[in-house]
Structure 1
Amino acid sequence: MTINFKDALGVHADALHVRAERTKVLAANIANESTPGYTARDVDFGAMLQERAADDADGFTATFDADTLYRVPFHPSADGNTVEIGVEQAAFSQNASDFQTSLTFINMKLRGLAKAIDGR
């Protein structure tokens, strides 16, 4: 009997991938905080996760750049840059925490599988 890790890990494997891609987008925002005219971007995590799950079922992979959204600033700057460092840092921190949560769930599931294989 073989183990299908896609079924065993559930949505958490896809969640890790989407969170990693979101980390790249948020990091780019933070890196371009002082770039004139730079427009802050983000992704809709729920929509991307659903799209990724559907793509996995179809055998295709989504293009992440097409799914990025532009963030509307609370306080626009004079140079056209829409990055607000506090907002970006909070989003980055929350994303990192959510990434760690999904990683913890995967670890727990793998430990459970290991125990089942060992007969414990």
Structure 2
Amino acid sequence: MINKLENLLNFNQKALGLRAARQELLSGNIANADTPGFKARDFDFSKAMQNASPQQIQNFSLATTVPRHISSTDFRSITSVPKQYRVPQQPSIDGNTVDMDTERMQFMDNAIRYDAGLTFISGQFRTLLSAIREGN
């Protein structure tokens, strides 16, 4: 039963982890908008989802009391997602490639998709709880 639950949530767990990592990267771009020479970075989310595997993501361990507890993975510390530099639409003299309009748009799009992922997982848990309650 635990394996089925883990398989059901695995895709969403990866997606939320990658969305969180992307949000950190985008917020770093926004925070460094005035840093001379800073190069705005991002990664291709769909490629990262296709390539995400436990070997590419650093694990961290939580204290568990029962060996059957579900293992957790920290998707925020992505080690092998190839980061790409943005090509500036209007280059600045100081070498900074952050375009605030682009960064804000990407940040909000990613935030909305992250929120949608949380809503979807919440719905899955409500469905599972409903099925468990009806089974009793």
- If the TM-score is normalised by the length of the shorter chain, which range does it land in? 0.7 to 0.9
Are 2:56 and 2:79, in contact at CA under 8 Å, matched by a contact in 1?
A: no
Mapped to 1, the partners of 2:83 and 2:16 lie a distance apart of: 17
Amino acid across the alignment from 1:45: F
- Match for residue 125 of structure 2 among 94, 102, 110: 110
Name structure 2 gaps, 5 residues minimum.
58-77
| Structural RMSD (CA) | 1.7
Amino acid across the alignment from 1:81: N
Q: Does 1:15 align with 2:10?
A: no
SS of the residue corresponding to residue 33 of structure 1 reads coil
SS of the residue corresponding to residue 42 of structure 2 reads strand
**TM-score normalised per structure 2:** 0.78
Name structure 1 gaps, 5 residues minimum.
none
Q: Where do 1:37-48 residues align within 5 Å? A: 37-48=37-48
Mapped to 2, the partners of 1:65 and 1:38 lie a distance apart of: 21
* Greater strand share, structure number: 2
* Aligned residue in 2 for 1:75: 90
Q: 1:2 to 1:80 in 2, by over 3 A?
A: closer
Are 2:39 and 2:97, in contact at CA under 8 Å, matched by a contact in 1?
A: yes
Q: Where do 1:16-95 residues align within 5 Å? A: 16-52=16-52, 55-56=53-54, 60-62=55-57, 63-64=78-79, 67-95=82-110
Mapped to 2, the partners of 1:66 and 1:3 lie a distance apart of: 27
Give the superposition deviation at 1:50: 1.1
Q: 1:66 to 1:116 in 2, by over 3 A?
A: closer
Amino acid across the alignment from 1:8: L
Are 2:16 and 2:117, in contact at CA under 8 Å, matched by a contact in 1?
A: yes
Mapped to 1, the partners of 2:5 and 2:37 lie a distance apart of: 44
